[in-house]
Amino acid sequence: MSQQQNITQVFSDLTAKAKAAQAQVEMTVSEGDKFSATYQDRKLKKYSSDQTASAVVRVLKGSGVGIATTENLSAESLAECFAAALQSAKDLDQGGEPEDLVAPAASYPDVKLFVSDYEEVPIAERLKWAESLEQEALDLDQRVSNVPYSGVTLSSGKTRLLNSKGLDRSYQSSGISGYSYALAKEGDKSKSGYHSFFRREAKDLPLKETAHEGATRALDLLSAVQPKTGQVPAVLTNDVAAQLLSILGHHLSAKSIDENTSMLKDKKGSAVLSPVLNIADNPLASELPGSRPFDAEGTPSQQTALFKDGILENYLTNSFYARKLGLPSTGNAVRGRAGMDIAPSNLVVAPGTKTFEELVNMAPEVVVITEESGFHSGMKEMTGDFSLPAYGALYRNGKKVQSLEQFVISGNVFELMKSVTAASNRLNENGGSVVAPDLFVPALSIAGESKEN
């Protein structure tokens, strides 16, 4: 009997046990292969090849939900998981809002997430990819003194979801990611730069481009100066715009709406953001890392319009909060440490019509924000208020004249995004699940050199 057949038989037994206990059961089985390699000082620093397997058993009884996990897929271990989850569900059943499982759907989207398990790629070639992410950065300019972090990861896996309502779905996925973090030094000044990528196809990987981008960002900062304090016209590069917009995930969650922790509560149908911004949750884009044919509960994936011309159109739901709040089910269940949660798959901002060059020409002087840091400490996710150290460049009459450092950008994400007047046709390609264009704002608060100096 194959392992998949064994899983089917074991789950049939668990379903019978759940029925006898007047409970419901769900099981998610994940199996994967991962290869990683890193280089440092032009030598192989580390590489590993790992296989993983795990199962999460979730039992529902009334309002109680019990969860247990294991990395052992034997019948005995899975039975022990079920028993532990059932006991937790019984203990937590306090007569509240009842939980339920998702029934099988009539159809599921065909999302092309699996290209290969990459067995056809020789180990020597994989190592060459990793080596080039360091070498290309070091060879770009003699001022690039070190690449302390760089590497490549190839991964493939299978996810199978079964529940006692008859759902049994699975999908395979694969992906290649790489990154390069370079240090540039001139005199006693040292600066860093980072870039990354994600692809599914094992061909035409942007290895050189990634290494050069990280190194170039570091090199640009060697000549950076501190800008004057003030309110300035600014362009948020696509990477920065994506980072700032990532907080929308919390505020779009129906769970956050129900718990009164969302700034978007009661804002459906209102103009919350700039009319320039059209944002969707898109789990069907095969090139993005958060894509999937169904969510963590088995609800089929769909593209959900969130903001149209800046107007809030939908919240994100899982099955529980869709029922509780009377909202459409959007298929955004994710598995959290304490149970099912809600999160975007891929948050995608539609590109605009302007080029980056046109954005930096929208005012005589424009500050381009190329990077921010300290996001987790400087961003108040609950309100959208932020105060973040940043790096950038000053453009005058559309031409770059000076790199900038040692300044802080501050404001409120919602207010800032409502002030956007133009978006570029250039989307970020850093391998993240938030995709955005460059954005022009007429006024951004910058704290740098005092005006008296």
pLDDT above 80 for 450: no
Instruction: Say whether both 42 and 118 belong to one domain.
Output: yes
Give a yes or no: residue 56 inside a domain. yes
Instruction: Say whether both 309 and 385 belong to one domain.
Output: no
Give a yes or no: residue 279 inside a domain. no
Q: Which of 280, 312, 345 is the last residue of a domain?
A: 345
Give a yes or no: residue 18 inside a domain. yes
Instruction: Say whether both 18 and 57 belong to one domain.
Output: yes
Mean pLDDT of 391-414: 98
Instruction: Say whether both 205 and 238 belong to one domain.
Output: no
Give residue-wise pLDDT tens across range 264-285: 999 999 999 999 999 999 999 9
Instruction: Say whether both 418 and 393 belong to one domain.
Output: yes
Give a yes or no: residue 283 inside a domain. no
Q: Are strands 434-435 and 24-40 parallel, antiparallel or unpaired?
A: unpaired
pLDDT at residue number 209: 98
The answer to whether 332 and 297 are in contact (CB under 8 A) is no
Give a yes or no: residue 411 inside a domain. yes
Instruction: Say whether both 7 and 133 belong to one domain.
Output: yes
Give residue-wise pLDDT tens across range 355-387: 999 999 999 999 999 999 999 999 999 999 999
Instruction: Say whether both 304 and 180 belong to one domain.
Output: no
Instruction: Say whether both 32 and 148 belong to one domain.
Output: yes
Give residue-wise pLDDT tens across range 215-229: 999 999 999 999 999
What CATH number should be reported for the domain holding residue 43? 3.30.2290.10
Mean pLDDT of 122-135: 98
Segments forming the whole domain that contains residue 406: 223-244+351-447
Nearest Cα neighbor of 335 from 9, 119, 12, 30 is: 30
Give a yes or no: residue 453 inside a domain. no
pLDDT at residue number 1: 59
Q: Which of 301, 327, 345 is the last residue of a domain?
A: 345
Give a yes or no: residue 452 inside a domain. no
pLDDT at residue number 451: 62
Number of domains in the chain: 3
The answer to whether 297 and 340 are in contact (CB under 8 A) is yes
The 8 Å CB, 24+ separation contacts for 286-289 are 286/111, 286/112, 286/113, 286/200, 287/199, 287/200, 288/198, 288/345, 288/346, 288/348, 288/433, 288/435, 289/175, 289/198, 289/346, 289/431, 289/432, 289/433
Instruction: Say whether both 316 and 204 belong to one domain.
Output: no
Give a yes or no: residue 17 inside a domain. yes
Total-model pTM: 0.94
197, amino acid identity: F
Instruction: Say whether both 393 and 267 belong to one domain.
Output: no
pLDDT at residue number 416: 99
% of the chain surpassing 70 pLDDT: 99
Instruction: Say whether both 329 and 365 belong to one domain.
Output: no
Q: Which two tokens stand for residue 406?
A: 């040692």
pLDDT above 60 for 453: no
pLDDT: which is higher, 99 or 20: 20
354, amino acid identity: K
Instruction: Say whether both 178 and 78 belong to one domain.
Output: yes
pLDDT above 90 for 13: yes
Q: Are strands 311-312 and 230-236 parallel, antiparallel or unpaired?
A: unpaired
Euclidean distance between CA atoms 384 and 187, whole angstroms: 39
